């Protein structure tokens, strides 16, 4: 089976982890500081603050940006649940705005009608590695005096109009979960040009400590370990090369899929560098289950990102948080992710395309 995701851990990562283990510094220490410095430089921001996961990065960024109970946070329902859960953690209410059906990202044309006097922040997600329409989002945010927190959990190295994701809003949040374009096992990072957000984020991730044993706000233990940071430093060096492999695989797939009946390949506007965390096609919703079974039987791994909009999850229903986003609902019933990661070989690509061609003839 060609898996839908595969972390690429090689000897260098293992050697660096062993060095850390032998050094005695295994919690947050010099390696975390080095990883933060290098990640900030890569993204093109003044500060990077490492955390224990992408989820804790989002939670910490919202706290640091001053989002609190009673506030509303505008976001997309077509994402992993962590995005809007982070608003819930700080007591804010997620307000869901529908997606653009071509890019799967939040539709900026629909944001203004969702703004109320309680709105404090907009959290766009760069879904599948494709940057959201940040110019329009930031213009709206400026006009209404809102904070923009980019959920860049799937978009390491993606570019929007010459700027890397994570450097465009007031803050960006990354995940280093093993399926992501780079990994630390578990881990996250907040990127920002704001001295205030960076300073507050450093406090919130470490028990609200302003200096040793002086606790000024209710913080958490969201720290990254030096063990994870050692993996991250090596992975960051490889990120561009790994992304190029993803992009090349995606180009091959689109080139061969675009003429297959019944399958819609992904779309990327000219002004972005889509880094293909996922390569996601669309098929008729009534055929999706059969398509997935067919592909799996042929040895092609698949994923559904995501099977329902976040507001359709039980948690959100129980909280009384509702929305109606027909494009997100349609996408949720039609999408299938297929393997695009750097370990997908040319032979794998041929096998994937052959399986799709056959599926189109027999199912679609
Ligand atoms: C869009 C999005 N946001 C947030 C997260 C949360 O990241 P993590 O799993 O590292 O907590 C993820 C990753 O799973 C994600 O895909």
Could you read off the pLDDT tens digit of each residue along the chain, which spans 364 residues? 999 999 999 999 999 999 999 999 999 999 999 999 999 999 999 999 999 999 999 999 999 999 999 999 999 999 999 999 999 999 999 999 999 999 999 999 999 999 999 999 999 999 999 999 999 999 999 999 999 999 999 999 999 999 999 999 999 999 999 999 999 999 999 999 999 999 999 999 999 999 999 999 999 999 999 999 999 999 999 999 999 999 999 999 999 999 999 999 999 899 999 999 999 999 999 999 999 999 999 999 999 999 999 999 999 999 999 999 999 999 999 999 999 999 999 999 999 999 999 999 999 8
The verdict on 152 and 45 lying in the same domain is yes
Distance 63 CA to ligand 1 centre (A): 17
Residue 1 covered by a domain: no
Distance 97 CA to ligand 1 centre (A): 19
CB 93 within 8 A of CB 319: no
The enclosing domain of 121 has a CATH number of: 3.40.640.10
The verdict on 149 and 24 lying in the same domain is yes
Domain of 331, in residue numbers: 240-362
Distance 229 CA to ligand 1 centre (A): 18
Distance 23 CA to ligand 1 centre (A): 30
H or E segment to which residue 42 belongs: helix 30-43
Residue 2 covered by a domain: no
Distance 306 CA to ligand 1 centre (A): 13
Measured distance CA(150)–CA(169) in Å, rounded: 6
DSSP codes of every residue in 146-197: -EEEEE-TT-TT-EETTEETTSSSSEEEEE--TTSSS--SS-EEEEES-HHH
| Cβ-based neighbours of 353, under 8 Å, separated by 6 or more | 252, 253, 256, 257
Q: What are 34's two structure tokens?
A: 């080095």
Residue 5 covered by a domain: no
CB 171 within 8 A of CB 64: yes
Which domain-ending residue is among 190, 211, 234? Answer: 234
Distance 354 CA to ligand 1 centre (A): 32
Q: What is this structure's pTM?
A: 0.98
Residue 250 covered by a domain: yes
The enclosing domain of 322 has a CATH number of: 3.90.1150.10
Measured distance CA(145)–CA(105) in Å, rounded: 22
The verdict on 262 and 325 lying in the same domain is yes
CB 222 within 8 A of CB 50: no
pLDDT score at 108 = 98
The verdict on 36 and 118 lying in the same domain is yes
Instruction: For residue 99, give the DSSP letter.
Output: B
Residue 302 covered by a domain: yes
Which domain-ending residue is among 192, 209, 234? Answer: 234
The verdict on 222 and 311 lying in the same domain is no
The verdict on 173 and 206 lying in the same domain is yes
Distance 22 CA to ligand 1 centre (A): 31
Residue 196 covered by a domain: yes
The verdict on 303 and 329 lying in the same domain is yes
Residue carrying the six token digits 């910490």: 60
pLDDT score at 268 = 84
pLDDT score at 364 = 86
The verdict on 213 and 152 lying in the same domain is yes
Please identify, by atom number, the ligand 1 atom nearest to the C-alpha of residue 125: 1
Distance 247 CA to ligand 1 centre (A): 21
Site to substitute for ligand 1 among 60, 130, 153, 220, most atoms within 8 A of C-beta: 153
Please identify, by atom number, the ligand 1 atom nearest to the C-alpha of residue 177: 10
Residue 195 covered by a domain: yes
Which domain-ending residue is among 193, 216, 234? Answer: 234
Residue 309 covered by a domain: yes
By alpha-carbon position, which residue is closest to atom 10 of ligand 1?
54
Site to substitute for ligand 1 among 54, 78, 185, most atoms within 8 A of C-beta: 54
Q: What lines the ligand 1 site, CB under 6 Å?
A: 53-55, 79-80, 82-83, 125, 151, 153-154, 175, 177, 188
The verdict on 318 and 200 lying in the same domain is no
Site to substitute for ligand 1 among 75, 125, 154, 158, most atoms within 8 A of C-beta: 154
The verdict on 263 and 224 lying in the same domain is no
Across the strands, what pairs with 280? 337
Number of domains in the chain: 2
The verdict on 291 and 179 lying in the same domain is no
pLDDT score at 58 = 98
Site to substitute for ligand 1 among 4, 7, 55, 126, most atoms within 8 A of C-beta: 55
The verdict on 142 and 226 lying in the same domain is yes
């Amino acid at each position: 089976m060609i898996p839908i995701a595969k972390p690429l851990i090689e000897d260098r990562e293992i050697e660096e982890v062993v060095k850390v283990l032998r050094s005695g510094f295994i919690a947050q220490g010099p390696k975390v500081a080095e990883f933060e410095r290098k990640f900030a430089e890569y993204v093109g921001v003044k500060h990077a603050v490492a955390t224990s996961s992408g989820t804790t990065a989002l939670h910490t960024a919202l706290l640091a940006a001053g989002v609190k109970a009673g506030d509303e946070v505008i976001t997309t329902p077509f994402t992993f649940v962590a995005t809007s859960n982070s608003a819930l953690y700080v007591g804010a209410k997620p307000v869901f705005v529908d997606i653009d059906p071509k890019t799967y990202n939040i539709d900026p044309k629909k944001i203004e009608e969702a703004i109320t006097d309680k709105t404090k922040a907009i959290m766009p997600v760069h879904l599948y590695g494709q940057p959201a329409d940040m110019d329009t989002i930031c213009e709206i945010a400026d006009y209404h005096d809102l904070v923009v927190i980019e959920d860049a959990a799937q978009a390491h190295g993606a570019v929007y109009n010459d700027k890397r994701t994570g450097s465009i809003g007031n803050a960006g949040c990354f995940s280093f979960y093993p399926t992501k374009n780079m990994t630390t096992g578990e881990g996250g990072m907040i990127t920002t040009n704001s001295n205030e957000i960076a300073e507050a984020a450093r406090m919130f991730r470490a028990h609200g400590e302003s200096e040793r044993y002086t606790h000024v706000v209710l913080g958490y233990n969201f720290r990254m370990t030096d063990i994870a940071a050692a993996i991250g430093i090596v992975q960051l060096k490889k990120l561009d090369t790994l992304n190029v492999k993803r992009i090349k695989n995606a180009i091959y797939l689109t080139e061969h899929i675009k003429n297959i009946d019944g399958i819609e390949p992904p779309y990327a506007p000219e002004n972005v560098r889509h880094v293909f965390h996922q390569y996601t096609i669309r098929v008729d919703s009534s055929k999706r289950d059969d398509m997935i079974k067919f592909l799996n039987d042929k040895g092609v791994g698949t994923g559904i990102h995501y099977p329902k909009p976040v507001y359709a999850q039980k948690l959100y229903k129980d909280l009384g948080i509702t929305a109606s986003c027909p494009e997100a609902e349609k996408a949720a019933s039609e999408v299938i992710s297929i393997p695009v990661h750097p370990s997908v070989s040319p032979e794998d690509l041929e096998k994937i395309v052959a399986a799709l061609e056959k599926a189109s003839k027999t199912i679609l």
